[in-house]
Amino acid sequence: MSEIRVLIVGTGGMANAHAEAYADMDGVTVCAGIDTSPERLAAFCAKHNIANSFASVEEALAWGEFDAVSNVTPDGVHHATTMPFLAAGKHVLCEKPLAVTVSDAEEMATAAEASGVVNMVNLSYRNGAALIRAAELVAEGAIGEVRHFEASYLQSWLTQPAWGEWSTNDTWLWRLSKAHGSKGVLGDVGVHILDFATYAACSDAESVSCNLTTFDKAPGGKIGDYTLDANDSFTLQMNLANGAVGVVHSSRMASGYFNDLFLRLHGTKGGLDVRFEGNKSILRGCLGDDLFTATWRDIEVPAVQTNYQRFIAAIRSGVQVSPDFRRGAMLQRVMDAAERSDAADARMLPV
């Protein structure tokens, strides 16, 4: 396939990152956009010099002059907007989380596999070279059997305005409201740290115990049309299929951190420290004889392709790439179990 034509569905803020990524690739053209807001769609297409625009998925499919789709719609409509493209045999890169229910995520994964198209979830921290190399080292046995881990994703936009004042901005307020489609910090960034930890540990979650917390942030718990009832922090214990145990936590009130991920993996032969901190991907290890002196050293990591690049490469090669929709469905099962655990007083529940 000489040129790959990509359609972007949903033209909000994150869609710009998709358009810019494809624009940097040879042989890739963003040929169309879809949005229910005519004004937003027109502005997006003008900004990125996109020739075609549509008000619905159905209109775009009737036109049909595209090979692949980047789905950047709100979480709650990922399923409804993705399924028609899969039925039409279009390759799909979908923003995270894949869906908001396990049943929808499983249906999307099954449909993608049946159609034979390339399907991928845009878990953006898979772009980090340290995470990719850490997973390779664990798979190679560099730290022996994984026994314990601790992982965190820390944000502070509820305690400082570096990204804007949350209390007056719809971009942030919807993330705090269940009625506006938010699953809280668990659904927004929890999916990232759950993938981060289990991918590097080379094992899926088997059971979880979770506590979700929502803090008082406004009089009566409401600002305008937004009821601020989505979780702001979570703490979670997790057992992995490989026998490892660990903790995962995340918060939007982690003062002192803008947007940072941390993971420590401890095995029978060594340990790894994997970070995305200050927009830098960092890997350190305590390996080999350093185990006996508890000496940690920086590990060089080679550059890796972005999710967008790997998505396009997979289309060209016809070889499926990770993280795929099945991975997205697995992560949805973990988040679903976490919510059920919280409702059951943080009991340990199977995934």
Same domain, 89 and 219: no
Catalogue the E-assigned strands of the chain: 4-9, 28-34, 52-54, 68-71, 91-95, 119-122, 146-155, 205-213, 222-223, 226-227, 233-240, 245-251, 259-267, 271-277, 280-286, 297-298, 349-350
Same domain, 188 and 269: yes
Tokens of 48: 């990125």
Q: What is the pLDDT of residue 216?
A: 97
Q: What is the pLDDT of residue 181?
A: 83
Same domain, 153 and 263: yes
On whether residue 319 sits in a domain, the answer given is no
- What gap in Å lies between CA 218 and CA 297, rounded to an integer? 45
On whether residue 341 sits in a domain, the answer given is yes
CB 159 within 8 A of CB 255: yes
SS3 of residue 289 by DSSP: helix
Model confidence, pTM: 0.94
Same domain, 25 and 103: yes
On whether residue 312 sits in a domain, the answer given is no
Dihedral (C-alpha) 275, 278, 282, 284: value to the nearest 10 degrees?
Answer: -70
Q: What is the pLDDT of residue 196?
A: 98
On whether residue 315 sits in a domain, the answer given is no
Residue 123: DSSP 8-state: -
**CATH number, residue 177:** 3.30.360.10
**DSSP states of 127-171 as a string?**
G-HHHHHHHHHHHHTTT-SEEEEEEEEEE-TTT--TT--GGG-HH
Q: What is the pLDDT of residue 206?
A: 98
Q: What is the pLDDT of residue 171?
A: 85
Measured in Å, how far apart are the chain's first and last C-alpha atoms?
40
Structural domain ending residue among the three candidates 92, 124, 156: 124
- What is the residue-level pLDDT of the chain in tens, covering all 351 positions? 579 999 999 998 899 999 999 999 999 999 999 999 999 999 999 999 999 999 999 999 999 999 999 999 988 899 999 999 999 999 999 999 999 999 999 999 999 999 999 999 999 999 999 999 999 999 999 999 999 999 999 999 999 999 999 999 988 999 999 998 889 999 999 999 999 999 999 999 999 999 999 999 999 999 999 999 999 999 999 999 999 999 999 999 999 999 999 999 999 999 999 999 999 999 999 999 999 999 999 999 999 999 999 999 999 999 999 999 999 999 999 999 999 999 999 999 999
Structural domain ending residue among the three candidates 104, 124, 144: 124
What domain count does the chain have? 2
Residues of the domain holding 107:
4-124
